[in-house]
Every structure is written in C-alpha cells, then in structure tokens.
Amino acid sequence: MAKSKPSKADSKARKQAKKMATNETPEQLYASALTFVEQSQPLEALQQAQKLYNAVQNQSVTQALPALNLLGEICVELGEIEMAKGYFEQAVALDPQGTVGGALADGAEKFLWLAQLADEGGKQSVAWFEKGVQCLQNEIAALESGQAIGLDEESLLLLRVEKKRKLANALCGIVEIYMTDLSWEDDAEARCENLITQAMAAEDETSPEILQTLASVRLSQEKKEDAQAALKRSMGVWKDLDPEDSAVPDFATRISLSRLLMEAELESSAMDVLERLVLEDDQSVETWYLGGWCQNLIAKKTERGESGPAGAQMTDAEHESNLGAIYKGSRRWLKTALKLYKLVEYEDERLKQHAEELVASLDGMLGAEKEGEEDADDQWEDEWEGIEDDEDDAQDGADTEMKDS
C-alpha cells in the first residue's frame, strides 16, 4: 500500500516543532539536562548538555562554564572518566582561579572533581583539592561580608551552609589522601590532625561525614574510644530521621560508616546501619556482604562471652540456640551477597573470596543446608533480632565529652 503524502499542515507543524526544538534557550536546555539527570537518564542528559554547550561555547565565559561542568558531571555518571576530565580541564582553562561568577557561582566544583579523577592521585589530587579549598574560602568570605547581591536572607544562609559543607568535605578529602597514598610522608599524621581540625571548624554544625573522617583518623592512631565517640555522634545526627530526609548521609557514606563501626568494634550499631541500607536497596552486594561478616563478628564475640542480649541470663541451651541463629543469619546474608555478585557481575574479587571463605567456615560449623532452609526471601532481621552488643552499655559509661579538634 502506497504511503500517503503528508499534508501541508502536517509538514508545517513538523517544521515548526523542529524550529522550536532548535531554538530552545540555554536556560531551557540546562533545565532539561538537569531534569534528565534527576530522572537517572544520563544519555538524554548528555544530549541536552551538548546542545547547551554548542549554543554557548562562543559566548561569555559565565555561560560556557556551567555547561562544561554539567557535561563533566554527566560523563562521570556514565563512567566516561577521560571525557569528564577533558570537560573539567576546559573549565579550568576558562576560569583558572575559580573566580568567574563570584560567590554565587560554583567555582570550586571543577577543581574538586579533578582532585577525585586525577590519574596519579597523591600530591596531584591534593593540589586540586587545595585549589578548591581556596576557592570555597574566598566565596564564603564574600558571602559573609555581604558581597552577594540579590539573595534574600534565607537563600544566603542556605548557600553559606552548602559552601561550608563542601569546604569541610574537601579538607577531609585531603585527609584521606594523607591516610592512604601519602601516608609515608613524614608529616602525614600532623597534616591529618590539622586538616580535620579545620574541617570541623568550617561548619556551624559538624556533619556526619566529617565525624566519620575524624573517627577514621582516630582509628589510625589506635584511639578506639575516641573513634567510637565520634561514630556515635555521627549516627546520632540522623539515625532517627526519615530515610528521605536530606540530613541522612548518602548510601555510599553509610556503607563507609558501617565499615568504620565494625573496625571500632561497634558491630551492633553497624548492623543497625546495614539493616536500614538493605531495606533501601536490596540489590547492594556490599551491604549483604558486610551484614554477613558483621553478624559473624557478633557471633564470635557471643561465643567468647563478650556480648549477648543485655541483662539476659540464658541457659546453655538458650545460649547455643541464640549463637546458632546469629551464625545462620550470617550465612544467609553472605550467600545472598554471593548470589547477587554473580547476578550483577560485581567486580570486587577480594570481597567474593572473603565471603566464600566465611560461608565455607559456616557450612563446616552448621552443616549442609537442607533444601529450602534459610531462604534469602525470609525475614532476615529475625535471625538477630534482640541481639544487642554489650558494647553500648560499656561505652556509654566510659564516653567523655569529645573535643572538636
């Protein structure tokens, strides 16, 4: 059957639509790209961001910079790291000191991204972080001296809080480098101490992320009680909030928190965090793995008589039953992690090996599973419900007021 020719009206309508699409303003393109980012559609966002950059690249620097930063961030989301670095480096070439746009602009963003994406890491990353820190300090000073024009009092306050948090996080980024890549430097510990002090002073109210970094520093210094106090204070900021509350740290930050809690021998608190995480995302391999490992640690403590239900006096049979329940919970979480590992083609080989070692040990201890036993779809929280580590009671009496530096 022959196709009918489009009517003049249809042709005119298509031409008009095409014209309107090509005549989108930079503001509309930017908003459209951000919408796609928020909807987890990075490819569509990239397309809009590229249109935006094509429209503004030959115009003023103040228009080109947001487009380059947006392109870089979308490329990071897509895993196109070299492309992302290229866009951020172009942004640096246009604004080498991060001063274009003044205190209301995001002048530090390109430096902070390049610090995280630097090939060499170490001192190269530190140099980029330091440029970001200097930029943020200048912007905060400008805001506090009233140089920001056109903002109402509430908007000004929110902007200051946001920039101070970025400053604190950038300082903590440098701390982490001196604890890892540059830990061999003679002054690494002194630098960490100075930087964490600056980070905690940067914010009006110290954020959970900064307290986690403080705890990490204290653990590296083998100051376990100080680390425990910092971690409890970090959790206290958000643990009773709704998961959607903006004050709740992001998923990755709370994964790091659970690891730190385990390292600080606060396993019960770590399980509280991990239970919440698995409710938010039951496809996270790392969450299931850490939960299995953590319950294994709790079981070992219970076996040694170092922990158990607070204030409970159990018979030997009850103790054995309780211990078995914890070990079974551990095996369940670990096997779920291994199933997901294969399903999503996870790439952390060390995680897989450790999970397999723990499962093999548990199989040897508990015996082979019967068909249908410990189904991963069961209510996993029942396996350790009511189990509380004595760590909390012991620590509460020992905690002293923690200094911010």
Confirm if 20 and 28 have CB atoms less than 8 A apart. Answer: no
Range of the domain at 316: 228-405
In the block, tokens 């002054």 appear at: 187
Residue 212 lies in a domain: no
Model confidence at 150: pLDDT above 60: yes
Confidence of residue 313 (pLDDT cuts 50, 70, 90): low
Model confidence at 151: pLDDT above 70: yes
pLDDT at 382: 46
Residue 89 lies in a domain: yes
* Mean pLDDT value of segment 166-177: 96
pLDDT at 114: 97
Model confidence at 4: pLDDT above 80: no
pLDDT at 8: 53
Dihedral sign for Cα atoms in the order 70, 75, 76, 81:
negative
Are 85 and 112 members of one domain?
A: no
Alpha carbons 195 and 141: distance in angstroms, whole number: 19
Burial of 8 (0-12, 13-18, 19+ CB in 10 A): exposed
Q: Which of 205, 239, 265 is the last residue of a domain?
A: 205
Alpha carbons 329 and 299: distance in angstroms, whole number: 10
Residue 383 lies in a domain: yes
Confidence of residue 104 (pLDDT cuts 50, 70, 90): confident
Estimate the share of the chain in helix, then strand, then coil, as percent rounded to the nearest 5: 70, 0, 30
* Mean pLDDT value of segment 108-121: 94
Model confidence at 244: pLDDT above 60: yes
Query: Tokens in use for 260?
Result: 């730190």
Are 237 and 346 members of one domain?
A: yes
pLDDT at 17: 40
Query: Tokens in use for 361?
Result: 């040990």
Residue 2 lies in a domain: no
Are 257 and 386 members of one domain?
A: yes
Confidence of residue 110 (pLDDT cuts 50, 70, 90): very high
DSSP string for residues in 156-211: HHHHHHHHHHHHHHHHHHHHHHHHTTTTTSTTHHHHHHHHHHHHHHHSSS--HHHH
- Of the listed ranges 11-20, 134-143, 299-308, the least confidently predicted one is 11-20
Q: Which of 205, 238, 266 is the last residue of a domain?
A: 205
Residue 386 lies in a domain: yes
Are 128 and 81 members of one domain?
A: no
What number of other Cβ atoms are within 10 A of residue 352's Cβ?
A: 17
pLDDT at 314: 66
Residue 22 lies in a domain: no
Average predicted confidence (pLDDT) for the chain = 86
CA-to-CA dists, residue 149 to 27, 136, 152, angstroms: 21, 18, 9
Are 37 and 155 members of one domain?
A: no
Alpha carbons 346 and 358: distance in angstroms, whole number: 18
Are 201 and 264 members of one domain?
A: no
pLDDT at 384: 40
Are 261 and 377 members of one domain?
A: yes
Alpha carbons 257 and 260: distance in angstroms, whole number: 5
Are 134 and 71 members of one domain?
A: no
Q: Which of 68, 94, 120 is the last residue of a domain?
A: 94
Are 185 and 249 members of one domain?
A: no
* Mean pLDDT value of segment 125-140: 96
* Mean pLDDT value of segment 173-202: 95
Confidence of residue 371 (pLDDT cuts 50, 70, 90): low
Higher pLDDT, 17 or 226: 226
* Mean pLDDT value of segment 253-281: 96
* Mean pLDDT value of segment 61-66: 91
pLDDT at 175: 97
Alpha carbons 329 and 262: distance in angstroms, whole number: 17
For 327-350, write each residue's pLDDT tens digit.
Answer: 999 999 999 999 999 999 999 999
Alpha carbons 270 and 300: distance in angstroms, whole number: 15
Alpha carbons 69 and 48: distance in angstroms, whole number: 13
For 152-166, write each residue's pLDDT tens digit.
Answer: 888 889 999 999 999
* Mean pLDDT value of segment 147-151: 74
Are 260 and 232 members of one domain?
A: yes
305 backbone φψ class: left, alpha, beta (φ>0; ψ -120 to 50):
left
Model confidence at 3: pLDDT above 50: no
Q: Which CATH number fits the domain that encloses residue 80?
A: 1.25.40
pLDDT at 312: 54
Are 182 and 241 members of one domain?
A: no
**Number of structural domains, the chain?**
3
Confidence of residue 378 (pLDDT cuts 50, 70, 90): very low
